[in-house]
Amino acid sequence: MRIDISGHQIDVTPALRDYVNDKLARVTRHYDHHAEARVLLSVDKLEQRAEATIGTPGKTLHADAVAPDMYAAIDLLADKLDRLLIKQKEKMTDHHRGESAARSDSFG
């Protein structure tokens, strides 16, 4: 997964960049396909905001998180993206391929 990190009203330090890459690496284990993620880190007065958009085949996923600390916002964002990708992956899998009594040869 390619991750593009940018900041709005904040300098993206190497420590923040490494933290985002580490947290989003967890997300990539649920999603095997090539994808591009755009992460925007911003500050509004006392709010630290982290937003991400991931382009997947067929759908674009977006998540954002707000916290008093930027690292906490990135943690929340990673959790939300993780849940979104798992949900998207479940929708993409074919649930009709499982074994059922009607399809099996043994009726008894």
pLDDT of 70 strictly over 90: yes
pLDDT of 6 strictly over 60: yes
Residue 75: per-residue pLDDT: 96
This prediction has a pTM of 0.80
Percent of the chain topping pLDDT 90: 48
pLDDT-derived band at 97, boundaries 50, 70, 90:
low
Residue 100: per-residue pLDDT: 47
Give me the domains of the chain, ranges plus CATH numbers.
2-89 (3.30.160.100)
Q: Please identify which residue in the block is written with the tokens 């911003």.
A: 42
